[in-house]
Structure 1
Amino acid sequence: MSDWKEGSDARLPLYQRLREEIMDRIASGEWPPGGTIPTEAELTRRYGIAVGTVRRAIDTLVNEGLLERSQGRGTFVRRPDFDASFFRFFRQVNAEGESRVPSSRILSATLSTPPVEASRALGLADNEPCLCLDRLRTLEDDSLLTEKIWLPASRFSGLLEVPLEEFGTLLYPFYEARFGQRIGSARETLTIASADASTAGRLGIAPRDPVVVIERIALGYDRTPLEYRCSMGAAATFRYQIEIS
């Protein structure tokens, strides 16, 4: 007997329906990040479809980076390392050249009207209020990044009651543990801008000095926008590195 969730769109090709089904079960927490999904044989029996169709759906999600196969162990829900992008872009060494892991601190959490780009990225109505986190990332005594992070209030109810010290260094595990919101993927855009007085003061640079701006839209496993963030760092500490083979 098939086990499609109510609301599954029968107009879609079967592999596409299964892809959406798998994403929905991941987003709901039934198949959590880091865990395995049922085997191809189990999915074939559960949904009453051919193994080739199941394999195509899984291949699509593997190519999209949401699942990963492990030989002899099964297919896992991938938990991406989102902070790695910042660590590629900004130097993380002290005066002696030793590698260090940046720390982070939430300076404030407020409810306010987001800028147009944040509202559009999150799919909010005009002037719909949004939760805003103001965060500073530091490397020892030096400011590395200043960030504004916008979250839809409907999905993060109760966030303003959380003491700032309880947010922790990594926000995505915090979102998952406290609000059941799981980040599955993200898109980032890098641009260069001039620092305004406030940003310059945060980063310890002069006003109008160049800064690298990283805009990120983070999505749930069902592709719902869950976070918009704008991070700024001094261009003098920026580096770009890529391996080409």
Structure 2
Amino acid sequence: MTRDASRPSRPASPTFSPLYRQIKDFLIRSLEQGEWGPGDAIPSEGELAVRFSVSQGTVRKAIDEMAAENLLVRRQGKGTFVATHSDPRSFYRFLRLVPDNGKAMPTVSDPFYCESIAATPEVAAALGLKAGDRVLLVKRLLRFDGEPVVFDEIYLAADLFDGLTLERLRGGDRSLYSLFESDFGVRMINAEEHLRAVAADAQSAELLGVGSGDPLLLVERTAYTYGNKPVEWRRGLYCTRHHYYRNDLG
């Protein structure tokens, strides 16, 4: 017997969410609303258990999952803190390029362009905007031990970064994500990357000191803040002459 296509289908049953996941959602909402800022200590598991009228075990499970997702950081004997991009360890969470010898090298961000432009259809789709909406385009070189290794074109949702200028980007030695977090209240929570091999064009060849047509690694990244909101899309061209892209699985 076939179903009459004109008849409405039965609505799907509501998805069951475990209690600890509900507590996790409450905590994420508190982070998003700024109740606790980056680097702040959150209340103890006991205090949160009282607040939400649940067991400490339920709170612990929620916090464990958030710590695994780099939203929170546990510090033995001190408590649990909101993760921050000011922590040097967070730098390598989003930059996976490693020197061939495996030794950490001084890394310097060298921005050289910052302008408001109209979003192309590709950029708009990545950031959840409309084509023609204003976005900020930042161009920068990332140098490892003085050697230019990454050429980034970074597109940002302009309404979240009002007042961002090239002078501001060049001030101090903070990472871009640390600057976005501290000065604009935008914290990058997670990112999705697409990788492919490409040939260097004239501009990237000159900036990275390679020959035109030499192989480069193209890394396209969409970065998200709380609520899975896309706020950054970037195209990074990586020179892998003395470096490799590392991704830990498992």
Establish whether TM, by shorter chain, passes 0.5: yes
Answer yes or no: is the 8 Å Cα contact 2:119–2:131 preserved in 1: no
Task: Choose which of 113, 125, 129 in structure 1 pairs with 2:130.
Answer: 125
Alignment of 1:83 onto 2:91: yes
Which structure 2 residue ranges, 5 or more long, are not aligned?
1-15
Answer yes or no: is the 8 Å Cα contact 1:108–1:164 preserved in 2: no
Q: 1:183 corresponds to which residue?
A: 188
Q: 1:155: Cα distance to partner?
A: 0.8
CA-atom RMSD in angstroms: 3.0
The structure whose Rg is larger is 2
Residue identity in the other structure for 1:34: G
Q: 2:152 corresponds to which residue?
A: 147
Q: 1:42 corresponds to which residue?
A: 47
The CA deviation string for residues 177-228 of structure 1, in whole angstroms up to 9 with x for no partner, is 2212122233333221111111111111111111011222222244322222
Residue identity in the other structure for 2:92: A
Residue identity in the other structure for 2:55: A
Q: 2:13 corresponds to which residue?
A: none
Answer yes or no: is the 8 Å Cα contact 2:111–2:166 preserved in 1: no
Residue identity in the other structure for 1:197: A
Answer yes or no: is the 8 Å Cα contact 1:106–1:167 preserved in 2: no
Residues 44 and 27 (structure 1), Cα distance of their counterparts in 2 relative to 1, 3 Å cut: same
Answer yes or no: is the 8 Å Cα contact 2:123–2:155 preserved in 1: yes
TM value normalised by structure 1: 0.80
Residue identity in the other structure for 1:74: G
Residue identity in the other structure for 2:47: E
Alignment of 1:63 onto 2:68: yes
Moved over 6 A (4+): 242-245
Residue identity in the other structure for 2:171: E
Residue identity in the other structure for 1:29: G
SS at match of 2:142: strand
Residues 142 and 36 (structure 1), Cα distance of their counterparts in 2 relative to 1, 3 Å cut: same
Q: Percent identity?
A: 32
How many corresponding residue pairs? Answer: 232
Residues 178 and 244 (structure 1), Cα distance of their counterparts in 2 relative to 1, 3 Å cut: closer
Which structure 1 residue ranges, 5 or more long, are not aligned?
1-10
Q: 1:171: Cα distance to partner?
A: 1.0
TM value normalised by structure 2: 0.78
Deviates more, 1:192-201 or 1:15-24: 15-24
SS at match of 2:24: helix
Residues 142 and 41 (structure 1), Cα distance of their counterparts in 2 relative to 1, 3 Å cut: closer
Q: 2:5 corresponds to which residue?
A: none
SS at match of 2:37: coil
Residues 164 and 74 (structure 1), Cα distance of their counterparts in 2 relative to 1, 3 Å cut: closer
Residues 128 and 167 (structure 1), Cα distance of their counterparts in 2 relative to 1, 3 Å cut: farther
SS at match of 1:21: helix
Deviates more, 1:70-79 or 1:11-20: 11-20
SS at match of 1:17: helix
Residues 124 and 135 (structure 1), Cα distance of their counterparts in 2 relative to 1, 3 Å cut: same
